[in-house]
Amino acid sequence: MNGSTYEDLPMSVQHMFMTRPIRVTVLNDKSDFSVRYDLFERLNTGGVILHPQEIRNCVYIGEFKDFISECSEKVEFNNSVKTTENAERTGSRDELILKFFAYFEDRDLFVHSVKEFLNDYMEKKTKRFTNKGMLRDLFNETFNLINAFLPMGIVRGNRVNITPLVLFEAISIGVADLIVENQSHLITAEKLQNLLNHDELRRLTTGATNSRNKLNERIDFVKNYIRDAV
């Protein structure tokens, strides 16, 4: 049927098209964000399943989504994070950037569901995004520093590997906090390299990690290690 028009199809096939119901749900700019997301998620059951970030990129359209896309092109960020080809296609890098900003600004609101937490944060920033300049500067300074001190990226071992998500959170947010606290001068390549394979940080980034306490523990460990290590 390649190259055929509707009129070229056999009558039996034309009849099938004419007798099949098509359900249409209309969403507009007044539709609640959670309703939009839930609808996308319910319909996301056949063919190629969409990753949560792919759904967010369809639902939360606006300046903040464009800002995340802009950040995802930063060379130093891409050098710092190692992902699979499949993850590249499903918006994994965008979600890492979203996590970076969400955990930096709102981690005290995180309970257990990462998906719902990220949805809530992205909805909030889509409705009101007033600190773009500050977040851009922080993102750039954080990953300029990480890229300079961890040229192989945020990975464990001495070879190119995949960046563990919780290790990314601990290192990147820990570094960002220290920058904001005017303590970036304490960060060194040796300290960051030692942290990647530190037994205690490994414990804090392994197993059941999706809780506010665990999140704060691993971020605080990174900051305290950088402050105290000689």
DSSP string, 15-76: HHHHHS--------TTS-HHHHHHHHHHHTTSSSPPPHHHHHHHHS-SHHHHHHHHHTT-HH
Domain assignment present for residue 44? The answer is yes
* pLDDT confidence of residue 1: 82
**Average pLDDT of the chain, as a whole number:** 89
* pLDDT confidence of residue 101: 98
Q: Per residue in 58-109, pLDDT tens?
A: 888 899 999 999 999 999 999 999 987 766 666 789 999 999 999 999 999 9
Indicate the number of domains in the chain. Answer: 1
Q: Which residues of 31-61 are buried (b: 16+ CB within 10 A; e: fewer)?
A: eebeebbeebeeeeeeeeebbbbbbbbebbe
Domain assignment present for residue 223? The answer is yes
Q: Where are the alpha helices (DSSP H) in 49-164?
A: 52-59, 63-71, 75-80, 85-89, 92-106, 114-127, 132-149
Average pLDDT over residues 137-163: 90
Domain assignment present for residue 23? The answer is yes
- List the domain range (segments joined by +) for residue 216: 6-228
Domain assignment present for residue 1? The answer is no
Work out the angle at residue 214's Cα, subtended by the Cα atoms of residues 209 and 220, and round it to the nearest 5 degrees.
135
What pTM did the predictor assign?
0.81
Domain assignment present for residue 62? The answer is yes
Give one word for 96, left, alpha or beta, with left for phi > 0 and alpha for psi -120 to 50: alpha
Write out the two tokens for 51.
């990753």
Percentage of residues in the chain having pLDDT higher than 70: 91
Residue 221: pLDDT band (50, 70, 90) is very high
Q: What is the spatial distance between Cα 212 and Cα 142, in angstroms, rounded to a whole number?
A: 22
Q: Are 210 and 162 in contact (CB under 8 A)?
A: no
* 3-state SS assignment for residue 5: coil
Q: Is the pLDDT of residue 34 over 90?
A: no
